């Protein structure tokens, strides 16, 4: 686990944002973390789907990735001001520099990267190819993973989550946030 120079103990976060590649555990860890903190949990993709009235895949098909990323950034920018919030990002949100900069610079925000190896993603996401067609194209998937990994690592904290249970990931995040004694 690595952390930045930010002193979480002196300035405890008011929101924790989870980023990482698909299968890293954001949607599993997020609600557990929120429960431990007594905070709310939101998944950005779920918010976008609810507001758009269609799936992310449909948004991509109808409007293209660029339009989806605009919508994703606007949604994140709106949500990142909330306090007492654990927010899970879609795996590609970190690719947009404007979004990355917003998350890293927002006061009271702790951006946490859940890092997993590509092999872990493949194992955890096995059987979900219908919902995640990118999984069927391994070379494209590997390229996407390699492109995003350095961007994920710009987070305030990176936690190697491959061999940790979801509860152990929550404990590591709480320790990084200076909230080890939370509920």
Q: Is residue 26 domain-resident?
A: yes
What integer pLDDT is reported at residue 57 of this predicted model?
A: 82
Q: How far is CA 33 from CA 30, 73, 175, in A?
A: 5, 23, 12
What integer pLDDT is reported at residue 64 of this predicted model?
A: 85
Number of structural domains in the chain: 1
d(CA 55, CA 53): 7
Q: Average pLDDT of 5-20?
A: 74
pLDDT band, residue 22 (cuts 50/70/90) = confident
Range of the structural domain that residue 165 is part of:
7-176
Q: Is residue 125 domain-resident?
A: yes
What integer pLDDT is reported at residue 29 of this predicted model?
A: 97
What integer pLDDT is reported at residue 93 of this predicted model?
A: 94
Share of the chain above pLDDT 70, in %: 85
Identify the CATH number of the domain in which residue 92 sits: 3.40.50.300
Rg (CA), the chain: 16
What integer pLDDT is reported at residue 181 of this predicted model?
A: 46
Q: Which residue intervals of the chain are DSSP H helices?
A: 26-37, 44-52, 56-79, 97-105, 118-124, 138-152, 166-176
User: How do residues 42-74 score in pLDDT, each as one tens digit?
Assistant: 999 999 999 999 988 888 889 888 899 999 999
Q: Is residue 182 domain-resident?
A: no
């Amino acid at each position: 686990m690595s952390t930045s120079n930010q002193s979480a103990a002196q300035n405890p976060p008011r929101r924790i944002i989870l980023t990482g590649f698909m299968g890293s555990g954001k949607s599993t860890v997020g609600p557990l973390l929120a429960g431990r903190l007594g905070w709310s949990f939101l998944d950005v993709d779920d918010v976008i789907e609810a507001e758009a009235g269609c799936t992310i895949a449909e948004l991509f098909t109808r409007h293209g990735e660029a339009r989806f990323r605009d919508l994703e950034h606007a949604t994140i920018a709106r949500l990142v001001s909330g306090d007492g919030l654990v927010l899970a990002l879609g795996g590609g949100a970190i690719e947009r520099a404007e979004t990355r900069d917003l998350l890293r610079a927002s006061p009271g925000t702790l951006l946490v990267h859940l890092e997993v190896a590509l092999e872990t993603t493949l194992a955890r996401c096995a059987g979900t190819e219908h919902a995640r067609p990118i999984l069927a194209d391994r070379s494209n998937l590997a390229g996407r993973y390699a492109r995003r990994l350095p961007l994920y690592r710009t987070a305030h904290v990176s936690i190697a989550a491959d061999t940790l249970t979801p509860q152990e990931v929550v404990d590591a995040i709480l320790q990084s946030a200076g909230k080890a004694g939370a509920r």
